[in-house]
A = this chain, B = another copy of it.
């Protein structure tokens, strides 16, 4: 079992299965990136190097944002504990109309090399959407995500978080509707309106082969700490 290191979470879910892939999902602004980076930073504090695969976003913005938030990402990188890879649009563009397994090979090949350099134990891909280069094709999408997860698990061997955006106002669990079936677990981040107040929530929606109750927790975002899970929503509202 792998401890996430996220304050208040491990004592409730017991941790993650080593070498498996978990989905972190939610609408925009619900804290998916912070959740994922907290997972890596806490891993590093426990001695497990990590890789952040930043898809189609600017490296400098990411590093500066994390820094503003209170995480000295650059220092972790120079210590060889963290690596932030960027898969930019021109890389993605070249993969268009290629078969699913070719695309996966290209992505995994690049990641694999970097993973070995720092002996990474944890990996985040954030977000998965721009990698879906043949988006309209459902069969391609299913095969692609399955292959990607299998390759991450069998060839790289890290414990993985895959970030998927839920279109705002939708009741779906993920962008493409297949990620949740293929993941070993699903964390849904949300903004829950109770009367006229919003709570940031973490719903443990699925933990394959694990007797974890499907509870909704309230969490805070704290500078330098990231995600801090407080109590069950039910308890907080009862109090």
Contacts and interface: CB of A to CB of B under 8 A. Distances in A.
A196 B29 contact: no
B167 A29 contact: no
A48 interface: no
Given A143-B89, A168-B172, A169-B173, A29 B214 contact: yes
Interface residues of A, number: 59
Interface stretch (A5-13, A75-83, A103-111, A231-239): A231-239
A169 B171 contact: yes
A58 B150 contact: yes
A51 interface: no
A233 B135 CA distance: 40
A129 to B, nearest CB: 8
A28 B169 contact: no
Given A58-B150, A167-B177, 17 more contacts: A17-B68, A20-B61, A28-B180, A28-B186, A29-B186, A29-B207, A56-B146, A65-B208, A68-B210, A69-B211, A168-B174, A168-B180, A195-B237, A197-B234, A198-B213, A198-B216, A211-B222
Interface of A: 17, 20, 27-29, 33, 56, 58, 61, 65-66, 68-69, 89, 127, 135, 138-139, 143, 146, 150, 165, 167-174, 177, 180-181, 186, 191, 195-198, 200, 205-211, 213-216, 220-223, 232-234, 237
